[in-house]
Amino acid sequence: MSVENNYALKVFSGRISQALTQRICARLNMPMGQARIESFPDSETIVKLEDDVRGRDCFVVLSTGSPVNENLMELLIFIDCLKRASARRVTAVVPYFGYARQDRKDEGRVPITAKLVANLITAAAADRVLAVDLHAAQIQGFFDIQVDHLTASPVFVDYFLSRRDQLGDLCLLSPDLGNVKVAESFALLLGGDLAIINKRRISGSEVVTDNIIGNVKGKTVLMVDDMVSTGGTLCEAADLAVRCGAKQIIAAATHPVLAGKAVERLCKSPISQLVVTDTIPLNENVGPLMPKIEVLSVGDLLGDAIDRIHRNLSISALFKRTAGVKR
């Protein structure tokens, strides 16, 4: 791809997103912007730009994954640095948006941290935000600046369509009621049936699955979600699907958070394959799970979006053949 007015575009990366940013820049056929990011002995972060950004359209790619607070602060400092260096426009590209699950008051005396993070990014003077598969689509409304919300579903659809013959009799299983629309769209795009799990969450790390609405007996079950965090939801769903007669279990999730006992749970689970993207890099403890993992890249998707934003074009074309986002 060749970007018009390439002289005016700069794409920078935070420390956690170097590999993804390299793929984005390869798609854009341009070098990655140069910056030095360091931590002082007292753990404070400093960003020093090594490229001139005056009057330029700047994008900083930085997922707020683990360590969440450190990466969030690095993003805010990077935005501030670009604005103070006279960048014409700064877009925060946040492939994985941390704190997204704290998007409402589900009990008394708790914060709505997703809104707080939106306020912080806005206060840092970002002009717009580009995100992938927010945990809840309404988080877009937490921002007082433009938000472009992409979904990784075209990447998953292309991958599974290329292997459709191997999947056989397919059933898309929604792991919760909030993901039914996405599962239904995948079922239409891939040519499969739809089933739904009735789930009750007991705590932040424990869920109980009650029953499956639909038939999975003798079928390849594909579960698609926005993230795999502790693995509780996917593993409970997979166990239930096997008890209901499923032949094979495949899981797909945009964000491989893999926190807590996720790796241990997934290794022991009947899930034969876990397909994820590179919105956040796999953590160092994922080794035992590697035989089951397939990592797809959203670099081309983000590169296309950045290209269109830079040239003030609509990015609606990127939503074709998409399964939508989680509601």
| Beta carbons of 181 and 232 less than 8 angstroms apart | no
176 pLDDT tier (thresholds 50, 70, 90)? confident
Beta strands 35-39; 89-94: pairing state: unpaired
Mean pLDDT of the region 187-203: 86
**With 70 as the cut, is the pLDDT of residue 220 above it?**
yes
Q: What is the CATH number of domain 154-296?
A: 3.40.50.2020
- Give the tokens for residue 288: 């035992």
Instruction: Give residue 6's pLDDT band: very low, low, confident or very high (50, 70, 90).
Output: very low
Specify the domain boundaries for CATH 3.40.50.2020 within the chain. Answer: 6-151+299-319, 154-296
Q: Which residue would you say has higher pLDDT here, 175 or 293?
A: 293
Q: Is 165 helix (H, G, I), strand (E, B) or coil?
A: helix
pLDDT > 90: percent of the chain: 86
Q: Average the pLDDT over 203-221 and give the result.
A: 82
- Is residue 215's pLDDT more than 80? yes
Q: Is the pLDDT of residue 27 over 70?
A: yes
Q: What is the mean pLDDT of residues 186-210?
A: 80
Catalytic residue chosen out of the listed positions 199, 261, 320, 326: 199
Active site residue 217: no
Q: For residues 265 and 234, what is the distance between their CA atoms, to the nearest angstrom?
A: 9
Q: What is the mean pLDDT of residues 194-219?
A: 80
- Average pLDDT (11-27) is 98
Q: Which residue has the higher pLDDT, 317 or 222?
A: 222
The pLDDT of residue 203:
66
The pLDDT of residue 204 is 60
Beta strands in the chain (DSSP E): 9-13, 35-39, 45-49, 57-61, 89-94, 128-132, 146-150, 170-174, 193-203, 206-213, 220-228, 248-256, 271-277, 293-296
* pLDDT band per the 50, 70, 90 thresholds, residue 106: confident
Name the pLDDT band for 325 (thresholds 50, 70, 90). low
Instruction: Classify domain 6-151+299-319 by CATH architecture.
Output: 3-Layer(aba) Sandwich (3.40)
What integer pLDDT is reported at residue 199 of this predicted model?
Answer: 67
